[in-house]
Amino acid sequence: MGHICVIGGTRFFGRTLVKRLLGEGHKVTVLTRGRSGDDFGHTVSRLSADANDVDALSEAVAGHEFDAVVHQMCYSPVAALAAAKAFQGRIGRLVMTSTIEVYTTVPGVRPFAAAAELDPADHGYDVSLPWLDPDFSDAHYGEGKRQAESALTDAAQFPVAFARAGHVLAEGEFTGRLAFHVDRVLAGARIVTHRVPGRSSFVHADEIAGYLAWLSGSSVTGPVNASSPDGMAVRDLCAVIEAATGRTAVIEELDDPVGDSDLSPFSYPKDFGMVVEHEFSPVGAWLPEVVRREISGR
């Protein structure tokens, strides 16, 4: 078994990843800013640093060696370059948790894109942009991830894999995107979508955590798409909630819904998904239980 460092493993599927690695017999070190606690007890080692600060990160990992790093907090080329320098000579490989959002606004990418259609080596990066400003980074989330992939591809002198995760769903997920739909169906409140909203790609939190654990011990490099193989539109998600609640979703399709406070976070004007090469479970195999657990938590 290996020694795996997880950067940012204290919430959502990061916690699931840490527990998965521990269950597989790995030694795990969790590196965070130290601002929030965890429930891992004495089962993990802990380091504290801001992953965007190359000096602090280098100081934190000095004297440590890892078989792999799973980077959950690499949102920009600033963090990517910090990792490339701090971990040089200290790790066997790095797995960056990336996102489906890297495919937004990229010319020539198909509605359901293959990983090879977006080569990190071709994109480039700009560290002069205000990536540490939360307002800027939130508004440029997909671009930040694209540039992070490019920066690691350019600067890392160790093998790197990029797991481009679909929209991650589980009960109680911290973004509130599943709760957005459940709450509105239960309340009979409107859910706004684009006219004939497109399908997108989704993945269960447990499955993406398991895949990241597998990647940390594999020889895979470069970008890989990580999601269920079948796409899902907002109406499909609402149909599962309707079946679990016995309520009817109030869906309102608009030609130009941008800016509407009731716009579904999963509504797209056309298909926006990924072709997946790794074997993941279809959405229908896990979504109904996720929805039932989300409802039972009310």
Instruction: Fill in the DSSP letter of residue 213.
Output: H
What local confidence, expressed as pLDDT, does residue 215 receive?
Answer: 97
Contact 244, 294 (CB under 8 A): no
CATH architecture of 3-168+201-226: 3-Layer(aba) Sandwich (3.40)
Phi, psi dihedrals of residue 164, rounded to the nearest 5°: -85, 95
What pLDDT is stored for residue 39 in this prediction? Answer: 85
pLDDT band at 271 (very low <50, low <70, confident <90, very high): very high
Give start-end residues of each CATH 3.40.50.720 domain in the chain.
3-168+201-226
> Are the beta carbons of 141 and 75 closer than 8 angstroms?
yes
What pLDDT, on the 0 to 100 scale, is given for residue 173? 82
Closest CA to 14 of 180, 228, 163: 163
Over the stretch 211-231, which tens digit does the pLDDT of each residue have?
999 999 999 999 999 999 999
Which segments of the chain belong to CATH 3.90.25?
171-200+230-296
Q: What is the pLDDT of residue 38?
A: 80
Q: Is residue 88 pLDDT above 90, yes or no? A: yes
d(CA 203, CA 200): 10
Can you give the pLDDT at residue 252?
A: 97
Residue 11: pLDDT band with limits 50, 70, 90: confident
Fold of 171-200+230-296: UDP-galactose 4-epimerase; domain 1 (3.90.25)
Do residues 3 and 61 touch, judged by C-beta distance below 8 A? no
Q: What pTM does this model have?
A: 0.95
pLDDT of residue 36: 74
